[in-house]
Structure 1
Amino acid sequence: MNAVFPGSFDPLTNGHLDIIVRSSQIFDKVIVAVMTNTKKKSLFTANEKVDLISEAIFSLANVEVVSVESDLTINLMHQLDAKIIIRSVRNNRDFEYEKDIALMNKELDETVETVLMLANPKYAHISSSLMKEIFKFDGDISNMVPNHIKVAMLKKRHEVTSRED
């Protein structure tokens, strides 16, 4: 059975990667869908995120990454002929948010199921938004993202700083 793990992944965190690895052990194929979150300003472009995630999952033979510029997850599910949406839950607030989205997706297509996976406790405090805030003020994010993503973030910071000079 194919499953889709949608998100903005800006950037991919160790928590995201843990969910991808665990999902790859459950489902025949996992498609990581880089989606646009209209409420957030992205650090990386969609193509950059696809490349960074692809590097992180290179050893997982049954995982692939796709970019979806602007569409509903449910439409992507139809395009991919997938019936399972994977979502991660770190806390009660996440659960309430994800429950509402799952119910809305069920309203749009009753054949699509959402599987909520509990975050690994060692990553439950990590969110892309908090991680970017820590990084912005030179905090150490080494335990929050794969090393190649930290390097890409440092490069992105350097590019922004160079443009401002």
Structure 2
Amino acid sequence: MTPRIGVYPGTFDPITLGHVDIIRRGAKLVDELVVGVTTNASKSPMFSVEERIAMVEREVAAIGGAIRVVAFDSLLMDFAEAQGARMIVRGLRAVADFEYEYQMAGMNQQINPRVETVFLMADVSLQPIASKLVKEIALYGGPIDRFVTPAVRDEVTARVAAIGRKGSPRNDG
């Protein structure tokens, strides 16, 4: 029997608790889940692809099951085909996500009808989390503990210290 392979693509800059939740749940749907770390320069990454791969590998190590983390810089459907995947796993947080993801799923279906897109709703407690917002909060010196693991928090904090915080220190009175 051919193994069921799924791909969960993203920039993971940084990987959040929401990403880990989708990876944990997506891994249950397939024999092997390939976490595709994409190079999306338009998103102004805080971490290099290599750093993000290492971060994702560390964060998913405890999940168990067959999870591979791979970099890619191609059309998602070409990447999925190269991995032998027949499923794309996507996480949804809100209606705005659904609109974009629905359009992408339709386009991807036109490109490669052999690969299905499966949507997983983020856990209610994790729905507001977005990497972009985590970075913004960190860059302004805010707490990100509720959105990422302690190890990711430390990496983000160290990177912010290296590149410099935005804004001025809080003045509470």
Asked whether the two chains share a fold, i.e. TM above 0.5, the reply is yes
Which of the residues 88, 91, 99 maps onto 1:96? 99
Supply the AA of the counterpart residue of 2:70. V
Q: Distance between the aligned counterparts of 1:160 and 1:139, measured in 2?
A: 16
Give 5+ residue unaligned stretches, structure 2.
165-173
Per the alignment, residue 79 of structure 2 pairs with 76
- Report the CA distance between 1:78 and its aligned residue: 1.2
Q: Distance between the aligned counterparts of 1:143 and 1:61, measured in 2?
A: 26
Per the alignment, residue 65 of structure 2 pairs with 61
Q: Distance between the aligned counterparts of 1:35 and 1:84, measured in 2?
A: 17
Supply the AA of the counterpart residue of 1:15. G
Deviations 1:59-89 (A, max 9, x none): 2231110011x21111101111111000011
Per the alignment, residue 134 of structure 2 pairs with 131
Per the alignment, residue 119 of structure 2 pairs with 116
Supply the AA of the counterpart residue of 1:76. F
Identity across aligned pairs (percent)? 31
Which of the residues 137, 151, 158 maps onto 2:161? 158
Decide whether the 8 Å contact of 2:135 with 2:156 is kept in 1. Answer: no
Q: Distance between the aligned counterparts of 2:107 and 2:119, measured in 1?
A: 15
**SS state at 1:39 partner:** helix
RMSD of aligned alpha carbons: 1.0
Supply the AA of the counterpart residue of 2:65. A
Query: Given the two structures, how large is their TM-score scaled by the length of structure 2?
Result: 0.89
- Report the CA distance between 1:138 and its aligned residue: 1.0
Supply the AA of the counterpart residue of 2:55. L
Q: Distance between the aligned counterparts of 2:159 and 2:139, measured in 1?
A: 11
- Report the CA distance between 1:144 and its aligned residue: 0.1
Q: Distance between the aligned counterparts of 1:81 and 1:33, measured in 2?
A: 13
- Report the CA distance between 1:23 and its aligned residue: 1.1
Q: Distance between the aligned counterparts of 2:40 and 2:107, measured in 1?
A: 17
Supply the AA of the counterpart residue of 1:9. F
Which of the residues 5, 24, 27 maps onto 2:8? 5
Deviations 1:108-163 (A, max 9, x none): 011110001001000001111111111111111101011111111112122224xx
Supply the AA of the counterpart residue of 2:96. R
Supply the AA of the counterpart residue of 2:13. D
**SS state at 2:144 partner:** coil
